[in-house]
């Protein structure tokens, strides 16, 4: 019975990792059950929900996925923050501010089939693909026009 339960948890976790294009990987070792309930209520307002993960299951799933480089870095209790329905309604800064209230450290964000590290997340403000492409277009435009304007004068 225990083996069947563990296999169903592994399948559920694999399905979450394969079907979602956005989730946040967090360390939740410093949070109590009361604070966890408050956090879930605040995240529901942002159209997100928490999913606690067992270490052994996460390591087992990571070995067979694109995250196989992260297997050795897993230590402690983890949780995934997933989108409840549809798309993300709030930006990344609001979500990170909410997690900092509860002293939860973000380890990475999986967005549009890419894993972003903490250093990359400092520059990421929107979790909307179109807004990020607009920002990328504006930055490329300014990068290209600045050197050309020196030669035109």
Q: Where are the domains of the chain?
A: 2-125
CATH of domain 2-125: 3.30.70.1730
- pTM (predicted TM-score): 0.68
Q: What is the per-residue pLDDT across 76-119, written as a single tens digit (0 to 9) for each?
A: 677 888 887 766 666 778 888 888 888 888 877 877 777 776 76
* Per-residue confidence (pLDDT) for residue 132, from 0 to 100: 67
Half-sphere exposure of 65 (CA within 13 A, CB side): 22
143: part of which helix (H) or strand (E)? Answer: helix 129-152
* Per-residue confidence (pLDDT) for residue 68, from 0 to 100: 67
Tokens 């549809």 belong to 86
Longest dimension (CA), the chain: 77
Write out the two tokens for 72. Answer: 């050795």
Which residues of the chain fall short of a pLDDT of 70?
Answer: 1-3, 5-6, 61-76, 86-90, 117, 119-129, 132, 146-153
* Per-residue confidence (pLDDT) for residue 70, from 0 to 100: 67
* Per-residue confidence (pLDDT) for residue 56, from 0 to 100: 72
Q: 105-111 and 48-53: which strand pairing?
A: unpaired
């Amino acid at each position: 019975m225990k083996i069947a339960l563990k296999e169903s948890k592994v399948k559920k976790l694999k399905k979450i990792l394969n079907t979602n294009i956005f989730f946040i990987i967090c360390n939740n070792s410093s949070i109590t059950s009361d604070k966890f309930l408050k956090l879930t209520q605040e995240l529901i307002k942002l159209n997100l929900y928490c999913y606690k993960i067992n270490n052994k299951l996460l390591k087992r799933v990571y070995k067979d996925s694109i995250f196989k480089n992260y297997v050795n870095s897993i230590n402690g209790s983890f949780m995934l923050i997933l989108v409840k329905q549809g798309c993300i309604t709030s930006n990344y800064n609001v979500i990170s501010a909410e997690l900092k209230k509860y002293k939860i450290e973000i380890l990475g964000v999986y967005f549009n089939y890419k894993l972003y590290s903490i250093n990359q997340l400092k520059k990421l403000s929107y979790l909307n693909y179109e807004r990020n492409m607009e920002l990328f277009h504006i930055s490329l435009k300014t990068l290209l026009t600045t050197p050309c304007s020196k030669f035109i004068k």
